[in-house]
Every structure is written in C-alpha cells, then in structure tokens.
C-alpha cells in the first residue's frame, strides 16, 4: 500500500502534464482553424514556407 | 482624378516592426487553395506571415512595416483567382472568441479533474464492499477534494457568474439549479469526508460540470462560426466610399473611416455607402433598397441620399451628414429599438424548461429531507439523501438537449445556404404560421433583367449588348449581361443621361432613352410591365424597345406554392407602387398584398397579426424593413440586403433562389421536434431515477452512472438526427 505514495502523485502529475499541454495548445491558437489543421497534416512540407518560418520563432503571441 | 486605396484603417501593428492585416477571401474551400494562397503570398519579399484560416475563410498577413502596400496582396490574390477584401473583426465577434476560449479552458480543467477524481473514486467504491481501511478511504477522499474543489471553482465560473446575474435580477435560469447542485454537493462531500463517511460526491459534481461545459461549448461554437462567416460576408460587400482628400483627389476608404462633414464622390453605377446631401451634380438615384420604390428619383443639389441607394446616371458630390442625425436612419433606429425591446421577452425553450424544472427539483429535494426527518431519520442522513436527489436530477441532460440539436441543425442550414444570427432562431422559426415578404430585392432579384429579349432578333440584341458595354448605367449593364456581350464596340460615345451611340459598318447605332433613339412612339405603344424601365435600340431606321426590370427570384413561384402547402399564410408588404406589387403578387398567386407602406405601417401590420395570435416570419432586405424584421417573431434577410437589415435578421440566406427560406423552415421544425424529444428523454430519465434517490438507496456509483447515461443518450439522439436534417436541406 505504501506504493500509493508514489503512484498517486505520479498519476496526478501525468494528468497535470496533459492539462498543461492542452492549455498551451489552446493559447497558441491551435484550435482556431480545425478544418485547416486537418488538411495541413497531409500537405507537403514546403507548401507554406513563410508561415512555418514564422511559427518557429513566435509562439503564443498570435492574437 | 486619381484613385488611391487606403487600407490604413485595417492595418494593425504586430510588434517587432511588423504590420498585420486580415483579409476575407472568397472561394477558399480546400487544402489546394490554402497551399496556393500561402505559397503565392509568401513569395512576396518582406512578407513574414501568410496563413489561411480555412474555417473562417480568412488570411492573416504580416510584413515588415512600411515596405509594402496592402493593396498588393489583394492584387496578388486576384492574380491567383481569389477575390479578397480587408476585414475588421467586429467587437461582438472578439467577445465571442474570448468566451469560446474561456469555455474550452474550463472544459479542459473540468475533464482533467473528472478523470482523476474518477480514478480515485473507483478504488473507494470497490474498497467499500471489501477490505479498505477507513484511513485509506479518507486519504482518497481528501485527495479528491484537493483536485475537485479548485477545478470546480475554476471550471464552474461560466455557470456561477450567470446564476449570480440571474439572481441579482431576481429571476432564475438554468444555471441557478446547476450552481446550487454543484456547491451543495461539494460542501456536503467535504463535511462527509471530515466525518470519515463512506461516500463523498466529488466525482458527481465535477462530472456534472464537464457534461454541461460540453453543451455550453457546442452552443457557443455554433454561434461563433456563424458570426465569423457573416462578418466575412459583410466585408465581401466591401462598403467603401470615394472620399475627397484634396480638391481633386479621391481615395477609396472604408465606410468606418468616414466622418460627418466629409465629401464623397458617388459615381454612376455605384451604391451609396453613407447618408448625406448632394452638393454638386445631377443624377437619378434608385432607392429601391431603402423604400422599395423601383422607379428612379431625380437627385440634384440639396437632395438627401441614403446609404443603400444606387446612383444611376451622373456623378454626384455628397456631403456626409452624421448618421444619427439623418432623418431616415434616426426614424428607423428608433423603431428598431422599440421592436427589439418587445422581442427580448421571448423565452427560449431551455429557459422555459428550466423555469419549471428548478422549483420542482428543489421542492423534491426539500420534501425528501423533511420526509426522512419526519420518518425518524437523523438530520445528517436526511440531508445526504436530499443531496443525492439533487445530484441525480442534475440538469446536464437538459443542458445538452438543446445545444446538441442546434449544432446539428445549424450545420444542415449552412449546407442549404442559411446562416443563423441567433441560437434561438431555430425555435422561433419552427413556430411560424404566417410569412410576410417584402417585394423589392426579396421576392425579386436585386439586379435588373431584360424581360422581352425574345421579341428582338438575336443579332440585333447581341449588337445592343456590345454597345451597352460602353456605358456604366445599370440598365445598360443588364442589357450587356443578358446578351452575353464580351467585346465592346470601338469608338462608342456616351452622352450623359441619354445613352450610347457608335457607328458600325457606316450605320449609326444608338442605345438609350427612347427619345435619344427616336423611338418615343414605339415606347408609348408598348404594353409592358408598369415597373419596367424602357430602353430603346436603333440601328439606322430599325428601332426596338427593350424592357428592363427586376425579375422574380428563379424559384419564387415553387417556394410560395410549397409554403402554402404547409398551411402558412402568405402576404406581401412593399413600399413600392401599386402596379409593381400587383404584378408580382399576381405572378406568384399571392392574394394578400399591400403597396406603398411605410416602415411604421409594416410594424403596425405585424402587431395586428400578433394580436390575432399569429407567429410572423418577416422576409425583407431594405433599410426600411429593418424595424419590421426586428418586430416580427422571426426574420430572414437575403445576403444582398442593406447592412442594418442583415444585422437585425435572425437568419441570412445566400444566393439567387428563394429555396433557403423553405429549407430553413423545414429544418427548424424538425429540429424543434428533436429538442422536445431530447427534453422528454431527460425528463423520462428523471422520473425513473428520482424515486430511487428519494428512497435513499443511491450510491455515488449509481448516481454517476445514471447521470452520464442520460447525457450520452441525449447526445446520441442528436447525432442520429444528423442524417435526417441533412436530407431536408
């Protein structure tokens, strides 16, 4: 039963990590264009040079 | 005179020496368009961001400040085959985006907490029937409290705030029972945990919030999407005006950047975007969008012109008057305010359900507590049972019943070319039993059509069309389009207010006023529609008369017949002259119509019908229709409508046919049926579950399972409806 002391915080930490990832993706605008995102996943990589370049050096500041 | 395009109104500074502009783009539908646009725009030097939003049909662009003129992006998009317009996000849309983000954040937090609390609850439930030590159970309960309390405090915000607002205004809404249920359940759980009890209700409370947030988010998302598309359409209409920036220099600027006292140029064939008075020039103007009158009005110095009117023949200089002081707009705004206030009393289905629901549930819980105390149970046990009743009757199925159907129905309407402006429009539209149409621009198309092309030899008509290409006059444009003309005749001369002439193979041809072509006698002899404009064409001594008027929407007859078949009363209320209205009513087989009515008359008629118990659908497009659109039970407007009317209407439909009106009514009727079905499902579940809860035999496991089961049932029922609704549209 002592193992709970490790397992429960571990489970909570994993859950929190998931939540943090979700909040981060929300903040960086990844839910703003779900239709487009579905297509971008299968598009050729060089299809959007400027957009890709921009996303690399700028994260959450897009309004 | 030189025309420049001024986009400074739309440009925002994006920091780090960058500038940002949003463009609404027409015709972006697939991944191919997306890649093509992004590649094409990124190729321009100094562009740092070009990103297409496929959901909203917009492009966000950023570039190094001062290096580029945004007009270049629009030109580039035109080369790629897309029409684009600068776009300004309306403040209402900004608010909706912020709210939608908050809901999604709350949903994330609630879902995280629900999953983790459930993970802790299952060992407790199984441990209670086997060998769990009380200390271990308490440890798990405290951990649950640690997760659930802050999560509920955060994720419950939308409900708590709305409930507080309702209580402050001394009313109730759906959020009041939700908030009471959640707070009571959490409070009781903490008390139980302190007393080392077997059961706590943290899991039930947090799951309730999760399901409700799903419903709330769906509801919000539907409205946000519609507003984004409607906002684009407003931008695509590109309401700009040519403003004088110097004595002889004009600049094309957005209407939002024009102030009272400015002077704008109104060229022939242009639609006026502002209210004002003519200070120079002489022309005819078409005020059909505003008054419904199809005959042209003469404009000269001092004549007031209103936004939405079309300039026909000559250039006009117009001094802009303050929009609020403009008599027509002020009158309409006043009527509009009154009408909107009257309508805000409408109760949404969900609110009506919750108004009944809340007192019943709270009374049941109270009676349960008192009943158990009277029957000899301790206060503690009685309160636990009472809270179990509150949890099991949680209105989450009720909260999902309506938004899920709304989302599916709005998707179906979107497919048939109808945009929803308000969420409860579906419910109101389904109740309609009387339809009032405006004539001009609603039953008829907003643009002109040649009605007697068959009477003129094809070769002659083709020649007239080619000649018409040399004129800016809208009537000439209609002739050119009807003839399918592509190549203009070289050397054509336009005589302002008269017509166009040219010499072909040594013979002079003329197109214009009958007097200009020497065809007065022919024009007087024709017996064509009273509302038509007559235009003459002469080739040497041969003379012909063409009749140009606003044609009926292509499927108007079929749609009116179908509406009649659904037992709906139909009538026409138009500001136009009687002969024009009679002709349209006759062609459509509508027996009830009124001509020459003012905005106030229209409202009076709608009120009269309301008094007699009718639920009126008003379909109209003019500025003069805006108040009656607001006064009617529910309203629709074509996309070509005046800006104000479009903003007032509950639904906006696209394209030339009238069929979307019919489809919207059918979809909404079916959707209302589904909403009611869902509500009955939710109520049926409660009728089964409540006696069990009152009996005091509900464990948290049963409560959680029953609650989730009812929510999932309601969601599945809505999804099942998807195919049925798609079929209608």
When pLDDT is cut at 50, 70 and 90, the band that residue B323 belongs to is: low
Q: Do B147 and A44 touch (CB under 8 A)?
A: no
Residue B13 or residue B159, greater confidence: B159
Please write the tens of the pLDDT for every residue from B435-448. 999 888 888 887 77
Give the separation between CA B566 and CA B717, rounded to whole angstroms: 26
| Model confidence at A3: pLDDT above 60 | yes
Q: What is the pLDDT, as a whole number, of residue A50?
A: 47
The strand pairing partners of B617, in sequence order, are B435, B634
Q: What would the mean pLDDT of B632-658 be, rounded to a whole number?
A: 84
**In this predicted structure, which of A10-24, B87-101, B142-156, B621-635 has the lowest mean pLDDT?**
B87-101
Q: What would the mean pLDDT of B698-722 be, rounded to a whole number?
A: 77
In contact, B227 and B93? CB cutoff 8 Å: yes
Residue B725 CB neighbours (<10 A):
24
Give the separation between CA B298 and CA B296, rounded to whole angstroms: 7
Q: Do A54 and B49 touch (CB under 8 A)?
A: yes
Q: What is the pLDDT, as a whole number, of residue B570?
A: 92
| Model confidence at B347: pLDDT above 70 | no
Task: Collect all residues of chain A within an 8 Å Cβ-Cβ radius of residue B53.
Answer: 32-33, 36
Most confident residue range from B247-251, B297-301, B338-342, B704-708 = B297-301
Is the ipTM of this structure higher than 0.95?
no
Share of chain B above pLDDT 70, in %: 90
How far does the CA of residue A32 sit from the closest CA of chain B (Å)? 8
Which of A41, A51, A60 to mutate against chain B (most B CBs within 10 Å)?
Answer: A51
| Model confidence at B324: pLDDT above 50 | no
Give the separation between CA B393 and CA B681, rounded to whole angstroms: 13
Q: What is the pLDDT, as a whole number, of residue A63?
A: 38
Give the separation between CA B222 and CA B407, rounded to whole angstroms: 6
B123 touches chain A (CB under 8 A): no
Minimum-distance CB partner of B55 among A33, A40, A50: A33
When pLDDT is cut at 50, 70 and 90, the band that residue B90 belongs to is: low
**In this predicted structure, which of B36-45, B547-556, B627-636, B640-649 has the lowest mean pLDDT?**
B640-649
Q: What is the pLDDT, as a whole number, of residue B5?
A: 66
| Among chain B residues, CA nearest to A54 | B49
Give the separation between CA B103 and CA B97, rounded to whole angstroms: 10
CA-closest candidate to residue B244, choices B297, B326, B315 = B315
Q: What would the mean pLDDT of B665-679 be, rounded to a whole number?
A: 89
| Model confidence at B449: pLDDT above 70 | yes
Q: What is the pLDDT, as a whole number, of residue B729?
A: 60
Scanning the structure block, which residue is given the tokens 């008075």? B277
CB proximity list for B50: less than 8 A, separation 6 or greater: A48, A50, A51, B37, B38, B41, B42, B59, B60, B61
Q: What would the mean pLDDT of B12-22 be, rounded to a whole number?
A: 82
Residue B258 CB neighbours (<10 A):
21
Give the separation between CA B577 and CA B582, rounded to whole angstroms: 9
Q: What is the pLDDT, as a whole number, of residue B652?
A: 86
B55 touches chain A (CB under 8 A): yes
| Among chain B residues, CA nearest to A37 | B54
When pLDDT is cut at 50, 70 and 90, the band that residue B656 belongs to is: confident
| Model confidence at B148: pLDDT above 90 | yes
Concerning whether B438 is annotated as a catalytic residue, the answer is: yes
Which of B22, B33, B34 to mutate against chain A (most A CBs within 10 Å)?
Answer: B34
| Model confidence at B432: pLDDT above 80 | yes
Task: Collect all residues of chain B within an 8 Å Cβ-Cβ radius of residue A4.
Answer: 136, 139
Q: What is the pLDDT, as a whole number, of residue B345?
A: 59
Task: Collect all residues of chain B within an 8 Å Cβ-Cβ radius of residue A20.
Answer: none
End-to-end CA distance of chain A: 49
B68 touches chain A (CB under 8 A): no
How far does the CA of residue B89 sit from the closest CA of chain A (Å)? 12
Q: What is the pLDDT, as a whole number, of residue B154?
A: 95
CA-closest candidate to residue B710, choices B424, B391, B406 = B391
Most confident residue range from B131-145, B512-526, B542-556 = B131-145
CA-closest candidate to residue B55, choices A63, A27, A37 = A37
When pLDDT is cut at 50, 70 and 90, the band that residue B616 belongs to is: very high
Q: What would the mean pLDDT of A27-37 be, rounded to a whole number?
A: 82
When pLDDT is cut at 50, 70 and 90, the band that residue A57 belongs to is: very low
Task: Collect all residues of chain B within an 8 Å Cβ-Cβ radius of residue A43.
Answer: 31, 34-35
Give the separation between CA B676 and CA B688, rounded to whole angstroms: 18
* Average pLDDT across chain B, whole number: 81
Residue B603 CB neighbours (<10 A):
22
Q: CA B466 → CA B255, B481, B496, B544, distances in Å? A: 34, 10, 18, 15
How far does the CA of residue B567 sit from the closest CA of chain A (Å)? 40
Strands B493-495 and B499-504: antiparallel
Q: What is the pLDDT, as a whole number, of residue A56?
A: 44
Taking the CA atoms of B278, B284, B285 and B288 in sequence, report the sign of the dihedral they define.
Answer: positive
Task: Collect all residues of chain A within an 8 Å Cβ-Cβ radius of residue B143.
Answer: 8
Residue A52 or residue B293, greater confidence: B293
Please write the tens of the pLDDT for every residue from B114-133. 999 988 888 888 887 788 88
B84 φ/ψ angles, rounded to the nearest 5 degrees = -130, 150
Which of B49, B148, B221 to mutate against chain A (most A CBs within 10 Å)?
Answer: B49
The full DSSP string for B563-574 is HHHTT-EEEEE-
| Model confidence at B2: pLDDT above 70 | no
Please write the tens of the pLDDT for every residue from B380-423. 888 888 877 877 776 677 777 888 888 888 888 888 888 887 76
Q: What is the pLDDT, as a whole number, of residue B156?
A: 93
Residue B612 CB neighbours (<10 A):
8
Q: Do A39 and B31 touch (CB under 8 A)?
A: yes
B217 φ/ψ angles, rounded to the nearest 5 degrees = -65, -40
Give the separation between CA A49 and CA A42, rounded to whole angstroms: 15
Q: What is the pLDDT, as a whole number, of residue B373?
A: 92
Q: Do B109 and A51 touch (CB under 8 A)?
A: no
Q: What is the pLDDT, as a whole number, of residue A52?
A: 46
CA-closest candidate to residue B598, choices B273, B325, B293, B334 = B293
Minimum-distance CB partner of B38 among A16, A26, A51: A51
B200 φ/ψ angles, rounded to the nearest 5 degrees = -135, 160
The full DSSP string for B254-300 is EGGG--TT-EEEE-TTPBP-S-EEEEE--EEEE-HHHH---S-EEE-
* Beta carbon pairs, A and B, within 8 Å: 80
Task: Collect all residues of chain B within an 8 Å Cβ-Cβ radius of residue A22.
Answer: 108, 112
Taking the CA atoms of B304, B309, B313 and B314 in sequence, report the sign of the dihedral they define.
Answer: positive
Q: CA B689 → CA B118, B386, B389, B622, B705, distances in Å? A: 21, 13, 9, 53, 11
Q: What is the pTM of this model?
A: 0.73
The full DSSP string for B466-477 is HHHTT---HHHH
Q: What is the pLDDT, as a whole number, of residue A59?
A: 43
CA-closest candidate to residue B106, choices B172, B153, B43, B42 = B153
Taking any CB pair shorter than 8 Å as contact, residues of chain A touching chain B are 1, 4, 8, 11-12, 15-16, 18-19, 22-23, 26, 31-36, 39-40, 42-44, 47-51, 53-54, 61
| Model confidence at B515: pLDDT above 80 | no
Minimum-distance CB partner of B50 among A19, A40, A50: A50
Six-digit token string for B467: 């000649």
Give the separation between CA B508 and CA B541, rounded to whole angstroms: 9
Task: Collect all residues of chain B within an 8 Å Cβ-Cβ radius of residue A33.
Answer: 53-56
Minimum-distance CB partner of B35 among A19, A33, A48: A48
Burial of B441 (0-12, 13-18, 19+ CB in 10 A): buried
| HSE toward the beta carbon, residue B15, CA cutoff 13 A | 4
Please write the tens of the pLDDT for every residue from B154-171. 999 999 998 899 889 887
Q: What would the mean pLDDT of B202-207 be, rounded to a whole number?
A: 87
How far does the CA of residue A31 sit from the closest CA of chain B (Å)? 9
Task: Collect all residues of chain A within an 8 Å Cβ-Cβ radius of residue B101.
Answer: 26
| Among chain A residues, CA nearest to B108 | A19
Task: Collect all residues of chain A within an 8 Å Cβ-Cβ radius of residue B54.
Answer: 33, 35-36, 39
Q: What is the pLDDT, as a whole number, of residue B662?
A: 92
| Model confidence at B110: pLDDT above 90 | yes
Cα-based angle A63, B4, B259 (whole degrees, multiple of 5): 70
B102 touches chain A (CB under 8 A): no
Active-site annotation holder among B438, B576, B625, B666? B438
How far does the CA of residue A17 sit from the closest CA of chain B (Å)? 10
Task: Collect all residues of chain B within an 8 Å Cβ-Cβ radius of residue A53.
Answer: 48
**In this predicted structure, which of B74-78, B103-107, B657-661 has the lowest mean pLDDT?**
B74-78
B167 touches chain A (CB under 8 A): no
Q: What is the pLDDT, as a whole number, of residue B665?
A: 92
Q: Do A22 and B108 touch (CB under 8 A)?
A: yes
Most confident residue range from B325-334, B497-506, B584-593 = B584-593
Cα-based angle B455, B459, B464 (whole degrees, multiple of 5): 80
DSSP A3: T
**In this predicted structure, which of B223-237, B358-372, B416-430, B482-496 has the lowest mean pLDDT?**
B223-237
Q: What is the pLDDT, as a whole number, of residue B703?
A: 73
Q: What would the mean pLDDT of B209-214 be, rounded to a whole number?
A: 88
Give the separation between CA B88 and CA B20, rounded to whole angstroms: 12
**Rounded to the nearest 10 degrees, how much is the dihedral formed by the CA atoms of B131, B137, B143, B149?**
130
Q: Which helix (H) or strand (E) holds B594?
A: strand B593-594
H helix and E strand count, chain A: 3, 0
Cα-based angle B64, B66, B71 (whole degrees, multiple of 5): 95
Q: What is the pLDDT, as a whole number, of residue A23?
A: 92
CA-closest candidate to residue B425, choices B648, B716, B213, B217 = B648
Minimum-distance CB partner of B112 among A18, A32, A33: A18
């Amino acid at each position: 039963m002592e193992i709970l002391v490790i397992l429960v915080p571990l489970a909570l930490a994993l859950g929190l990590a998931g939540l943090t990832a979700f909040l981060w993706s929300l903040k960086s605008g990844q839910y703003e264009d779900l239709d487009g995102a579905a297509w971008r996943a299968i598009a050729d990589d060089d299809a959007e040079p400027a957009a890709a370049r921009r996303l690399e050096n700028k994260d959450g500041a897009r309004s | 005179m030189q025309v420049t395009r001024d986009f400074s109104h739309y440009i925002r500074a994006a920091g780090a020496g960058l500038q940002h502009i949003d463009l609404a783009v027409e015709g972006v539908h697939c991944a191919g368009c997306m890649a093509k646009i992004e590649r094409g725009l990124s190729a321009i030097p100094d562009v740092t961001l070009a990103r297409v939003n496929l959901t909203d049909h917009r492009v966000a662009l950023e570039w190094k400040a001062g290096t580029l003129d945004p007009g270049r992006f629009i030109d580039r998009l035109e080369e790629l085959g897309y029409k684009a317009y600068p776009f300004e996000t309306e403040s209402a849309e900004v608010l909706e985006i912020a709210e939608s983000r908050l809901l999604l954040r709350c949903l994330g937090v609630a879902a995280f907490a629900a999953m983790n609390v459930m993970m802790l609850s299952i060992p407790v439930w199984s441990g209670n029937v086997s060998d769990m030590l009380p200390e271990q159970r308490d440890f798990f309960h405290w951990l649950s409290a640690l997760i659930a309390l802050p999560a509920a405090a955060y994720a419950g915000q939308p409900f708590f705030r709305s409930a507080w607002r309702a209580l402050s205004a001394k009313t109730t809404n759906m959020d009041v029972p939700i908030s009471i249920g959640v707070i009571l359940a959490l409070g009781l759980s903490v008390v139980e945990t302190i007393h080392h009890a077997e059961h706590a209700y943290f899991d039930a409370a947090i799951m309730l919030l999760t399901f409700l947030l799903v419903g709330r988010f769906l509801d919000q998302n539907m409205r946000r999407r519609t507003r984004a598309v409607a906002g684009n359409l407003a931008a695509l209409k590109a309401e700009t005006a040519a403003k004088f920036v110097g004595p002889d220099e004009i600049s094309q600027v957005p209407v939002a950047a024009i102030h009272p006292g400015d002077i704008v140029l109104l060229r022939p064939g242009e639609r006026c975007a502002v209210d004002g008075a003519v200070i120079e020039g002489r022309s005819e103007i078409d005020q059909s969008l505003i008054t419904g009158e199809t005959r042209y009005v003469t404009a000269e110095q001092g004549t007031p012109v209103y936004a939405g009117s079309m300039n026909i023949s000559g250039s006009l200089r117009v001094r802009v008057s303050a929009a609020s002081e403009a008599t027509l707009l002020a009158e309409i705004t006043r009527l509009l305010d009154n009408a909107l206030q009257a309508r805000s009393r409408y109760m949404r289905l969900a609110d009506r359900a919750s108004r009944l629901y809340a007192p019943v549930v709270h009374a049941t819980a109270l009676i349960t507590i008192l009943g158990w105390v009277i029957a000899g149970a301790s206060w503690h046990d009685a309160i636990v049972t009472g809270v179990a009743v509150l949890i099991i009757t949680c209105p989450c199925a009720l909260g999902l019943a309506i938004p899920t159907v709304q989302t599916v129905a709005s998707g179906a309407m979107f497919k048939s070319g109808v945009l929803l402006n308000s969420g409860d429009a579906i419910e109101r539209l389904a109740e309609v039993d009387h339809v009032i149409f405006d004539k001009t621009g609603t039953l008829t198309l907003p643009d002109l059509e040649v009605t007697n092309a068959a009477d003129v030899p094809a070769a002659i008509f083709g020649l007239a069309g080619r000649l018409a290409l040399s004129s800016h006059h809208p009537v000439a444009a209609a002739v050119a389009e009807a003839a399918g003309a592509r190549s203009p005749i070289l050397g054509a001369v336009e005589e302002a207010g008269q017509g166009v002439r040219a010499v072909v193979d040594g013979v002079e041809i003329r197109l214009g006023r009958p007097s200009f072509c020497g065809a007065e006698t022919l024009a007087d002899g024709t017996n064509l529609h009273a509302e038509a404009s007559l235009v003459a064409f002469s080739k040497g001594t041969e003379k012909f008369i063409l009749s140009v008027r606003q044609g009926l929407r292509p499927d108007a007859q079929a749609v009116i017949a179908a509406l009649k078949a659904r037992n709906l009363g139909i009538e026409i209320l138009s500001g136009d002259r009687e002969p024009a209205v009679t002709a349209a009513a006759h062609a459509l087989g509508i027996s009830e119509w009124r001509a020459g009515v003012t905005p106030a008359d229209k409202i009076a008629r709608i009120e009269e019908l309301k008094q007699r118990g009718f639920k009126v659908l008003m379909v109209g497009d003019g500025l003069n229709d805006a108040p009656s659109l607001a006064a009617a039970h529910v309203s629709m407007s074509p996309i070509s409508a005046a800006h104000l009317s479009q903003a007032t209407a509950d639904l906006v439909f696209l394209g030339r046919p009238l069929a979307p009106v019919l489809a919207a009514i059918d979809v909404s009727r079916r959707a209302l049926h589904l909403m009611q079905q869902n509500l009955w499902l939710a109520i049926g579940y409660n009728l089964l579950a409540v006696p069990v809860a009152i009996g005091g035999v509900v464990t948290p496991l049963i409560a959680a399972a029953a609650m989730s089961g009812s929510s999932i049932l309601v969601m599945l029922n809505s999804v099942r409806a998807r195919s049925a609704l798609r079929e209608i549209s």
